[in-house]
Chains A and B, each alone.
Chain A
Amino acid sequence: MNWKLIFNPFEQISERKLMQTGVLFALLAGIYAYYFGVVYDGVLDIHLFENASSLVLLFSNVIIVVCMSLVLYIFGKYINTKTRFIDVLTAVLWFRIPFYVSATLTTLPVFAEIEHQLKNSKNIQNIQFDTFTIVLLLFVTFVFLLALVYAFVLLINGFKTATNIKKAKHFVWFTVLILLLEILTKFIINTMV
């Protein structure tokens, strides 16, 4: 198995193919979000909203992609003047793909059932789940964590390829920017919901 291709597709695959795949996944994710009520309310967040507007359902992911691409492009340009917008955009588009997998899992009926139990229970200690639900919950949590780690591996490798960053201080600033982007996108999308 070509691990390099899985963890750093940006090294070998052309930006055009990366872009096409990233856009295709984003479109599918937008359609899925619209029909299942998924809102990407932050760089690292996925939530189900019952009364979200169609605009938010369709475009929450687009807002995140645009904000991240612009902020990271400006940062990339500051580090390396040869940074191209398309390379940062593809890194962001691919960073989002594992979140679409997590979003699909979020809409599993078992979560609606758990939420229903939590809402209707007066004492949280009295709630009991069967073995299947617990195993499923553990499995889904594990997949969520894997998806999050994989998303960051893709983003860091993509941004490294786009900007050729090597210095530790740049990675620190990169982390700070991701946290600021989480706050910014969360604020924008929550005001729209």
Chain B
Amino acid sequence: MKLPIVCPSCENTLQVSQMKCNDCQTEINGNYNLPLFFKLNREEQDFILDFFLSSGSIKEMAKQAGNSYPTMRNKMDDLIEKINQLKNV
């Protein structure tokens, strides 16, 4: 199931308010910020994961995705810029 990260009503970033242990049914309520990684959309999360799994090789990622090297590097640069913006919020 896809984790919603943006409020469908006002489009602000959602926060975690409840967590539950599936084993003992303990529930924790609070107001926790989403980790930075989860503030990215699914495609961006997959991109970072693919980068990690290809040992940090953009060339290898490009080959697997059927894209050219500069296209992949541009995606990476755009993502770095987005993460830097999220860090500064």
Which of A's residues lie within 8 Å of B, judged by CB?
10-15, 18, 80, 82, 84, 87, 161-162, 164
Contacts and interface: CB of A to CB of B under 8 A. Distances in A.
Nearest to B69: A15
Contacts, number: 33
Interface residues of B, number: 11
Given A82-B77, A164-B77, A12 B70 contact: no
Contacts of B74: 161, 164
B62 to A, nearest CB: 8
B68 A12 contact: yes
B42 interface: no
Contacts of A82: 73, 77
A84 B71 contact: no
B81 to A, nearest CB: 10
A10 to B, nearest CB: 6
Given A12-B68, A12-B71, A13-B68, 7 more contacts: A10-B68, A10-B71, A15-B68, A15-B69, A18-B68, A161-B70, A161-B71
